[in-house]
Amino acid sequence: MPVTTLRRSTNSKTKLVLISVSALIILLVALYFLAHKSTKPTSFESPHPGFIYVKHLIPNLKLEMRYCSTNNFTGRKVQGYINPVCILSVKAATALEKVQRDLNKMGLGLVIFDAYRPQQAVDSFVKWSKDSRDKKMKKQYYPNIAKKDLFPQGYIAAKSSHSRGSTLDLSIIDLKSGKKLDMGSGFDLFSKKSWPDYPELTAQQRANRLLLRSLMTKHGFNTYPYEWWHFTLKDEPFKETYFNFPVK
C-alpha cells in the first residue's frame, strides 16, 4: 500500500475514533443531567406570568419561609404553601435585588419570611382565627391579644397585599455569622413591639430597623404601620388582582 494511501486511512480512522469519543462524552453528560434532574423549578421556569422565583435573581438570598413550616402563628404548614420558595412579581424582585446589593456592601443580606401568598392561605387564616379553641401558638405570636381582635387591629386581613405579589416580609442577616440583626421583636409577633416606631427599643434595635426601612424605601417600597418587617412595592404591577396559584 502506498504511503499516502496509508496516511489517509490512518487519518480517517483517527477522525472516526475522535468523533466516537466526542459522541460518547456528549451522551454521558446528557445521561448525567437526566439522572440528576432537580424536581425544583429551573431558572427557565416562571411560577406564573409576571412572577419570578426570587432566588434566580438573587442567588445569595436567605429564605426562611415560615408558612411552609410549622413555625408560624397557626402552628402548622399553611394551605397553598407546597415548597419553601420565594415568589414575587418581576418588578418587586428587581427592586429587591438593589436592596440586597446595598446590604452586601456592608457584609449584610436579606432573609425572607414570606412573599407572594395565595388567597387560599389567607382564607385559611380567616378560618383559623374563628377557632377560639386553637391557641397552640398564642404564647409565642399573640400573647396579649385575642384571636378575634387580630383582624380589627390590622394584623391579619381577609384580603392581603401579599396575594398581589409585590409585598414581602423580611429582615437582615450578618453574612459572616448568618445571624439575624436584633430588631426588638420576632417576625409575626402581633404586638405593639412590632410597630416600626415602637419607642421602647435599644439604640441598636432602632438603628437596625431604620437600616431596613431606609433601604427598602430607597428602592421603592412602602412601609406598614403595624409590622417592621412588612413592605409593599409602591408602583406594584397587580394592584387590583389577588392571585391564588400555589407556592411551589
- Domain co-membership, 164 together with 210: yes
Domain membership flag for residue 243: no
Q: Contact, 217 vs 223, CB < 8 A?
A: yes
Is residue 161 in some structural domain? Answer: yes
Residue 2 confidence class, pLDDT cut points 50, 70, 90: low
For residues 70 and 182, membership in a common domain is answered with yes
Is 81 in the same domain as 178?
Answer: yes
Q: Which residues contact 115 (CB under 8 A, 6 or more apart)?
A: 54, 86, 87, 88, 162, 167, 168, 169
CATH of the domain at 229: 3.30.1380.10
Decide: 78 and 127 in contact? Cβ < 8 Å: no
What is the model's pLDDT at position 33?
A: 41
Helix, strand or coil for residue 239?
A: coil
In a domain, 247, yes or no: no
Tell me how far apart the alpha carbons of residues 106 and 10 are, in angstroms, rounded to a whole number.
62
pLDDT in tens, 205-216: 999 999 999 999
- Asked whether residue 158 is domain-assigned, the answer is yes
Domains identified in the chain, total number: 2
Structural domain harbouring 80:
51-233
Which tens digits make up the pLDDT trace of 121-150? Answer: 999 999 999 998 999 999 999 999 998 898
**Whether residues 166 and 219 fall in one domain:** yes
Establish if 45 belongs to a structural domain: no
Are 26 and 81 within one domain? no
Residues 15 and 87 in one domain: no
Residue 154's pLDDT is 84
Give the SS3 label for residue 57. Answer: helix
- The residue among 97, 105, 115 whose CA lies nearest residue 61 is 97
Mean pLDDT computed over 228-240? 98
pLDDT reading at 9 higher than 70 = no
Alpha helices in the chain (DSSP H): 3-35, 54-57, 90-104, 119-129, 138-141, 203-218
How does pLDDT run across 142-161, given as a tens digit for each residue?
999 998 898 888 888 899 99
Answer whether residue 186 is part of any domain: yes
111 and 210 in a single domain? The answer is: yes
Same domain flag for 32 and 127: no
240: in domain: no
In a domain, 67, yes or no: yes
The string over 125-153, giving b where at least 16 C-beta atoms fall within 10 Å of a residue's C-beta and e elsewhere, is beebbeeeeeeebbeebbeeeebeebeee
Q: Are residues 181 and 220 in the same domain?
A: yes
pLDDT tens, position by position, 20-68: 545 544 444 344 444 444 444 444 579 999 999 999 999 999 999 999 9
Distance CA 110, CA 11 (A): 59
Identify the active-site residue in 45, 64, 97, 227: 227
To the query of whether residue 227 is one of the catalytic residues in this protein, the response is yes
Helix-then-strand count for the chain, H and E: 6, 7
